[in-house]
Structure 1
Amino acid sequence: MVLKSRGALLFATSEEAEQAFYEALEQGDLGQLMAVWAEDEDVVCIHPGGPRLIGHEAVQESWREILGNSPLSIRPTRIHAVQSMMSSVHTVVEQVMVDTAQGKQVVNCYATNVFHKGPTGWRMVLHHSSQAPADLGTAEMQDVPDLLH
């Protein structure tokens, strides 16, 4: 249940925070997107093929630039979460809809979203996304790896 306290959103679970993150991307709403992030100078964001961005301001500026073009159509799938009392690590396959010369196509990305629980509920502290191999088939998108390394 998402609650409001003094105008700020409180996410009761990391799943709610993650859902709000992807909804904000779909809506192109920078304010809602940044409400998911911790207001901390230690937050980190890495976009596919981009540099490591550290700090709330750097993360916000990167999203402002990205959302300035248009909202993003990203559907998180294959969610796997590992959670403790105060932190939660989610790995997802993001299905990103992109416009190409051939029309709309889906590009798969692997993403890791890390959330910490604090006095203001669950907040994102890291988002790292990278493009998955182009030839990624359904069999390769399995939840349990064949090999440990």
Structure 2
Amino acid sequence: MYSTPQDAESAFYEALETGDLEAMMRVWSEDEEIVCVHPGGPALIGYRAVREAWQRIFSHSGRLSLRVVQQVAFVTPFAVITHVLEHFSHAGDESIAAPVAATNIYTRGALGWRMVGHHASPAPPDSQHEMPKVLH
């Protein structure tokens, strides 16, 4: 149970970095309306589809080193949306590839804060610095 959305987001990125499927899925809501989009991939809808995708990712990648920089957070009493830049590298290799831009959505329910959406896509290499806050 995550008492704050920050706790849920920290647990998400810790699970991602360590490749821990069970820890990853504890962050996600068990609702069938959850949505996950990995870079270049389709929208995965529902707990089972999201779990299977994370299982494939964790089984094909080694331990990752991850640095996350939060850019923007939209906060309401029952939902939080964060936009972050994820900087990945393989553990032991300090070179940082182009960042990944991700939007994470958390909602508060009876079991505390849980993730209901994650959408990640490649970001231009020069987006390592603060991005302009522009609404389209």
TM-score (norm 1): 0.81
Where structure 1 has 5 or more consecutive residues not aligned to the other structure, the ranges are 1-9
**Aligned with 2:56 (options 65, 68, 72):** 65
Offset at residue 74 of structure 1 (A): 2.4
Q: In structure 2, do the counterparts of structure 1 residues 137 and 18 end up closer, same or farther at CA, with 3 Å as the change threshold? A: closer
Q: In structure 2, do the counterparts of structure 1 residues 11 and 119 end up closer, same or farther at CA, with 3 Å as the change threshold? A: same
Q: What is the DSSP-based 3-state SS (H/G/I as helix, E as strand, rest coil) of the residue aligned with 2:25?
A: helix
CA RMSD of aligned residues (A): 1.9
Is residue 2:116 matched to residue 1:142? no
- Tell me which of the two structures has the higher relative contact order, counting C-alpha pairs closer than 8 angstroms and 6 or more residues apart: 2
Task: Report the number of matched residues.
Answer: 133
**Aligned with 2:97 (options 106, 114, 119):** 106
**Aligned with 2:6 (options 12, 15, 32):** 15
Mapping of residues 1-149 of structure 1, within 5 Å: 10-69=1-60, 70-97=62-89, 104-134=95-125, 136=126, 138=128, 141-145=129-133, 148-149=135-136
Q: In structure 2, do the counterparts of structure 1 residues 87 and 44 end up closer, same or farther at CA, with 3 Å as the change threshold? A: same
1:6 maps to which residue?
A: none
* Greater Rg over alpha carbons, structure: 1
Letter paired with 1:44: V
Q: Which has the higher strand share?
A: 1
Letter paired with 2:48: E
